[in-house]
Structure formats: structure tokens, C-alpha cells
Amino acid sequence: MKNRYLTLALLAFIAISCNKNNEKSDAYGNFEATEVIISSQGTGKILSFDINEGKTLKLGETYGFVDTTDLFLKKEQLMVQKEAVSTKTNNITAQIEVLKQQKQNLEIDKVRIVKMNKDGAATQKQLDDINGGIDLINKQIASIQTQNSSVFKEISGIGKQIEQLESSIKKSYFTCSNNGTVLVKYAELGEVTTIGKPLFKMADLSTMILKVYVSGDQLPKVKIGTKCEVLVDLDETENKKYEGIVSWVADNAEFTPKIIQTKKERVNLVYAVKVLVKNDGTLKIGMPGEVNF
């Protein structure tokens, strides 16, 4: 009798184990990451390029630059040109000051002649000549001020060209715009690159995306922002657990991909779902994973 109970208990344990092993997750998929191709914003020979596949880059970090000699020389040329044009402004200002002094002298003479004219000691012609001289000086000042305005516009235009060159020089330095890991390297030190030419591909692997597919009857319990259990193969019999957060659910259904398993294989249409998972360093792009909602 005792042996019979032991046999029944063993069979029950085997049955429970088999049922447990046969349990399937709600959805299956593969890990991916948002990949970004970084391209050159400058043109020239690459003089520094501290990039290797697998290297982790940080936001704002400079990792190389192209030759900026031509840009620098052109900037120096424009700065000399701007300084030369600025001297015209000084000359024009000096001319205006001279004319203003002449005008002031004429206005003093005008006051004297007007008084003499009232006393009969000066003629109307003398007064008209003074007024004509003042009008002439006013026109000369206006003409020179127009020249001054033209010079200021020329200086402003040169300044804009200098700013453009400074921007080009700045863009000649390869600066990382976000955190990530280099996946593929496209350029090498010493090569000549151009604007828009790819330098390398990178992705932020600190948080991975597990893209899975769920059937229509599973969809009601899948909501954006909810936590879920993510399983990754640890070995042939055990899984490693992670916490995931649903970040995206497709609006439209699609046909079941052949490489993806679903809870019910008879379902013809499924919905894509993306789950964010914090990476502890073991998750890789393309690695399979499972989700339980």
C-alpha cells in the first residue's frame, strides 16, 4: 500500500511538472533598439576619429574632427576685410563732423547777418548766400550718411559670413548628440568625408525594445504604461526574468508573421506591441524574448 502511495505521488509530480513545462508565454518576439546613423556635417580629411565598434559614447562628447585649415584661413581673410571696411566708417564720421562744424559757423554768421539786415547794414543776397550754404552742407551730410549706412551694411554682411564660417568650423568637430553604443563604423582616420556621408551607426542599448505580437483576444489586457514580465533564455531549461513596460500598441492588425509564435496559432491577425526593458548588459539586438501580461 505504501509503495502504491509513493507511485501515485510520483505520477502526480510528473504530471504537474509536465504541465508547468508546457505553459506558454502570452507573446514572443525579439529585442531591438532605435538605431541612428551619424553623418558628417563637415567636409575635409578626417584628422581625428576616436570611434570603435562597441564603444559607448556620451552626450556632448567630441570624438573627432576634419581638417578646418581652409575655413580658418577664409575666416582670417574676412576679419581683415571687415577691419579695412570699418576704417571707412571712421573717415566718414570725421567728414560729417567737419561739415557739422562748418554748418555751425554758417549759422552763427546767419544770426549776425539777419541782425545787420534789420539795421540795413547787410543785403538780402548775403542772407540768401548764407542760407544756401547751410542747405548745401545739409545735403552733403545726408549724402555722406547714406554712404555710412552702406558701409555698415557691408560690415554686417561680412560679419554674417564670419558667423557662417564659425558654424562650419564648429560642425567640423564630431560631437555626440545622444548617449549610445557604436554598432557599425563606416569611416576611418585619414579618409576624406563630405557633408551627409555616414560615419557610424549607434544605438542606446541601456533600454531595449522587445517587439512582440499578440492575438486579438489578448489585446484588451495590453495597455500602454502597464508593467509585464519579460523572460529571456538563461539556459536550456531556465529563464531570466525582467520587468517590462508596454510603450506602444499598434492601431491596426496585421497578418501573423511566420517567425513569431502566438498564444493561439489559429489566429490570422495579430497586433504588434513594444515593451521597454532596462538592459543589465546581457540583452542584445535580435535576442528572442517572451512576455507575460
Question: pLDDT digit string (tens) for 182-230?
Answer: 999 999 999 999 999 999 999 999 999 999 999 888 888 899 999 999 9
pLDDT number for residue 255: 67
Distance between CA 143 and CA 138 in Å, rounded? Answer: 9
pLDDT number for residue 201: 95
Across the chain, mean pLDDT equals 85
Contact (CB, 8 A) for 145 and 96? yes
Question: Side chain identity at 284, as an amino acid letter?
Answer: K
Contact (CB, 8 A) for 51 and 199? yes
Contact (CB, 8 A) for 222 and 207? no
The answer to whether residue 6 scores a pLDDT higher than 70 is no
pLDDT number for residue 215: 84
CA-CA distances (angstroms) from residue 3 to 6, 15, 80, 218, 221? 5, 18, 105, 45, 47
Question: Side chain identity at 165, as an amino acid letter?
Answer: L
Cell of 75: 575666416
Question: Side chain identity at 217, as an amino acid letter?
Answer: D
Whether the model clears a pTM of 0.75, i.e. scores above it, the answer is: no
pLDDT number for residue 119: 76
* Cα 193–Cα 199–Cα 202 angle in degrees, nearest 5: 170
pLDDT number for residue 245: 97
Which of 56-60, 268-272, 289-293 has the least mean pLDDT?
268-272
pLDDT tens for residues 222-269?
Answer: 999 999 999 999 887 889 999 999 999 998 887 665 555 555 554 567
CA-CA distances (angstroms) from residue 253 to 14, 58, 214, 246? 40, 38, 10, 17
Q: What is the percent of the chain with per-residue pLDDT over 70, rounded to a whole number?
A: 87
Cell of 98: 567737419
Q: Where are the beta strands (DSSP E) in 139-284?
A: 173-175, 180-185, 192-193, 198-203, 207-215, 227-233, 239-249, 254-255, 269-278
Instruction: List the helix and strand counts (H, then E) for the chain.
Output: 3, 15
Distance between CA 102 and CA 125 in Å, rounded? Answer: 20
Cell of 274: 513594444
* Of the candidates 129, 135, 139, 133, the residue with the CA atom closest to the CA atom of residue 96: 139
Contact (CB, 8 A) for 212 and 219? no
Question: Pairing relation of β-strands 288-292 and 269-278?
Answer: unpaired
